[in-house]
Amino acid sequence: MQNTIPSICGLGIYDASVMHKNKSVTPQRLVSLFEIEYILEDGGISYINGNEYEIKKGAVIVAKPGYQRHTVLPFRSIYVHLIIDDKEIAETVSKCPDFFMPENPSEYENALLAVILASASDSPFRNIAVYEKLFSLLSLLSSDISFFDVGNTDSKSNIGVVKSAIEYMDNHFCENITLDDVAKSVHLSRIYFRSVFVAATGQTPYKYIRSKRLSLAKQLILTTDKSFSEIAVRCGFSSQSYMNSIFREEFDKTPREFREETSRLY
């Protein structure tokens, strides 16, 4: 029977300056386990599988078996190292970006600390508590994975940027916003933001905004007697003719045809 519970092989607080005294760079090593780390303070540079990442407080590292790692010091982190035999859990953790900045870094800090504190307990239910906290950590990772397209994820994109951009678009899609407006809201250049968003969601910001406008347009067509020109303005389209064009492109019918067909059905 397959073991569904990961084995914890190491956990604690890691300070590279203590482990590697009088050294500015750690030796390159081969990763043999899943390594989940929360960075405690700004530091040097982390090299993971040939990619370079600036060490920033609050960032999360998820290194996978077979990776090559070394670090330019300083580097301090909270960590847990795991053997994961369960295929589904291993695939989930493998989908995590190697290095990312979560929207709420304190959630990861607290989740890792909870695993450490549970493991230090002398309670007879210690093992149950440890794995409860561990699965809470894995669940946190799993919830953030949905914002990344695994095959195309830009290693420097981050979940917080994508979530903030989506929140901005959700609040302003009815307005005449542009890609520049969305990029500025998350303090990135227009071109770099677009690449980050596409890598994380599999669609362009324009398509995301368009889908929000079309969804609202369908709702208003079905539930109100507003004119199509009023609906176009309400949903952020530049004109009724443009809404008609996009609507036909997406649904193979005009807004008028959609309203008439739906009225006949219901």
pLDDT at 266: 56
- How is residue 25 annotated by DSSP? B
Q: What is the percent of the chain where pLDDT is above 90?
A: 59
What's the rounded mean pLDDT across residues 240-249?
A: 94
Q: What is the CATH number that goes with domain 7-145?
A: 2.60.120.280
Confidence of residue 67 (pLDDT cuts 50, 70, 90): very high
211-216: which pairs have CB atoms within 8 A and are 24 or more residues apart?
A: 212/169, 212/170, 212/173, 213/173, 213/174, 213/237, 213/243, 213/246, 214/246, 214/247, 214/250, 214/251, 216/173, 216/174
pLDDT at 264: 76
pLDDT at 157: 47
Q: From start to end of the chain, where are the E strands?
A: 7-15, 29-30, 34-39, 45-48, 51-54, 60-63, 68-72, 76-83, 99-100
* CATH superfamily of domain region 207-265: Homeodomain-like (1.10.10.60)
Confidence of residue 102 (pLDDT cuts 50, 70, 90): confident
Q: Do 159-203 and 207-265 come out as alike in CATH topology?
A: yes
What's the rounded mean pLDDT across residues 36-62?
A: 91
pLDDT at 3: 56
Specify the CATH architecture of the domain 159-203. Answer: Orthogonal Bundle (1.10)
Kindly report the average pLDDT of the chain as a whole number.
88
Number of H helices, E strands in the chain: 11, 9
